A and B are shown apart, each in its own frame.
Chain A
């Protein structure tokens, strides 16, 4: 059994670990809550965009626009969103394994796959699996400015319109609820698939009754509106994926840190018991020494 001093040292170490993990848990909780508020506030904006999108893809005569048509360029792109910090359980591994599935699926289909990634621990995981991302966005995180996202959205929209890519997906950790987050793929381009996805997620469904696309006056023409809407909708979808990923990350870190705090508390309890036992043994030993010493003197 370790000595009293060693037990005390271990107890102090466990206590400082407990304080650190407790603080990290509190920080993660606060950030998770702030992202949750952000996510809740943007719901109506997404619903409204989904309504416009639905309107533009449901005319009696489909609008002839390259963003609404599928192309067969044989090259697709994915944007993988990972966590830049550790201590969040298997968060990055889930995203990495989904990226791996995409790579295998592209190989099986005889397609090429361009991987774009955020600057995160995910990139080192990808390098470990001999996957080299085409581009890494170093400053694409949850606090990215609107203009930076605009540029990224515009780049992918241009690539799709030029026929360089036939699909653009985001691989991220989707937040369903506080008890359920899953690595998922959201198809951003072709636009019809994104609109389909957004209308499925929307809380409002087609509120105009009998009014159809043909009843609307459009300014500018539908072709131009689709182009502008594509940029807005792609940008807001990337942003919402980043927010979802951030929420899942902070939640994962919160849970990991709570478990670490609980474990440290358990350890402290055990060490306190050990310390008390060792201290009591020492006292008993000292008393026995005194008693036996006194007995010898008599």
Chain B
């Protein structure tokens, strides 16, 4: 089968699968780079005014993010049931925007920490960094409150980290 035809067939097959299994794409980008790009069946994130859930065929939406955990039910790539990276994923998001359109959830985070690939040592380092930021002079009360909230969530991550 010619290469172009193979690709066309694969694309068509995956889109049909997406429709039948109610799957969409979820991407997390932060100033540190692209942290996640996966197929998902549901996403719950903390918006500025409370938690928000997104499923397949969600209406286009743009919202501002707060500080909190984001939960993703990731699906295996290309319909492979044993694919890597599937399952329940959790990430700490601190501010930013969420853009939902055409079955794509794009999380543009000011700061994000992925729970699934962050070690205890890294979390401890991040906690130290947060403490230093809080001690810095010239922070507004809102900035301090946000950093404190982030620290609380990092401690929660540390308690469950392996």
Binding site for B on A (CB under 8 A): 41-42, 44-45, 48-49, 51-52, 55, 145-148, 150-151, 207-209, 211, 215-220, 224-225, 228-229, 232, 236, 239
In the complex the two chains form, is A217's CB within 8 Å of B133's CB? Answer: no
CA distance A45 to B96 in the complex (A): 11
Which of B33, B52, B60, B108 is the one whose CB lies under 8 Å from A216? Answer: B60
CA distance A280 to B59 in the complex (A): 89
In the complex the two chains form, is B99's CB within 8 Å of A48's CB? Answer: yes
Would A145 and B133 be within 8 Å (CB), given that A48-B29, A49-B108, A151-B138 are in contact?
yes
In the complex the two chains form, is B136's CB within 8 Å of A224's CB? Answer: no
Which of A145, A219, A224, A229 is the one whose CB lies under 8 Å from B61? Answer: A219
Q: Which residues of B contact A239 (CB under 8 A)?
A: 31
In the complex the two chains form, is A229's CB within 8 Å of B59's CB? Answer: no
CA distance A45 to B107 in the complex (A): 10
Q: Which residues of A contact B15 (CB under 8 A)?
A: none
Which of B29, B49, B64, B101 is the one whose CB lies under 8 Å from A228? Answer: B64
A257 to chain B, nearest CB (A): 30
Binding site for A on B (CB under 8 A): 29-34, 47-49, 52, 59-64, 95-97, 99, 101-102, 106, 108, 110-111, 133, 136, 138-140, 143
Q: Which residues of A contact B95 (CB under 8 A)?
A: 232
A30 to chain B, nearest CB (A): 20
7 tightest Cβ-Cβ pairs between the two chains A and B: A41-B33, A219-B63, A48-B108, A217-B61, A216-B60, A44-B29, A215-B60
In the complex the two chains form, is A52's CB within 8 Å of B97's CB? Answer: yes
CA distance A148 to B97 in the complex (A): 21
Which of B29, B47, B136, B140 is the one whose CB lies under 8 Å from A219? Answer: B47
In the complex the two chains form, is B62's CB within 8 Å of A216's CB? Answer: yes
Q: Which residues of B contact A224 (CB under 8 A)?
A: 64
In the complex the two chains form, is B136's CB within 8 Å of A45's CB? Answer: no
Q: Which residues of A contact B30 (CB under 8 A)?
A: 45
Would A52 and B62 be within 8 Å (CB), given that A45-B31, A145-B133 are in contact?
yes
Interface of A is mostly: helix
7 contacts between A and B (CB under 8 A): A44-B29, A51-B99, A146-B110, A150-B143, A208-B101, A211-B102, A228-B64
Q: Which residues of A contact B61 (CB under 8 A)?
A: 216-219
CA distance A51 to B107 in the complex (A): 12
Which of A45, A209, A225 is the one whose CB lies under 8 Å from B108? Answer: A45
In the complex the two chains form, is A41's CB within 8 Å of B64's CB? Answer: no
In the complex the two chains form, is B62's CB within 8 Å of A225's CB? Answer: yes
Q: Which residues of A contact B34 (CB under 8 A)?
A: 44
B144 to chain A, nearest CB (A): 10
In the complex the two chains form, is A236's CB within 8 Å of B31's CB? Answer: yes
Which of B31, B33, B59 is the one whose CB lies under 8 Å from A217? Answer: B59
Q: Which residues of B contact A48 (CB under 8 A)?
A: 29, 99, 106, 108
B124 to chain A, nearest CB (A): 19
A207 to chain B, nearest CB (A): 8
Q: Which residues of B contact A229 (CB under 8 A)?
A: 97
Would A208 and B102 be within 8 Å (CB), given that A147-B136, A151-B138 are in contact?
yes
Q: Which residue of A lies closest to B104 (CB)?
A: A207
Q: A51-B106, A215-B60, A219-B62 are in contact. List 17 more A-B contacts (CB 8 A).
A: A41-B31, A44-B34, A45-B30, A45-B33, A49-B108, A145-B133, A145-B136, A146-B110, A146-B111, A147-B143, A217-B60, A220-B49, A220-B63, A220-B64, A229-B97, A232-B95, A232-B110
Would A232 and B49 be within 8 Å (CB), given that A45-B29, A147-B143, A208-B102 are in contact?
no
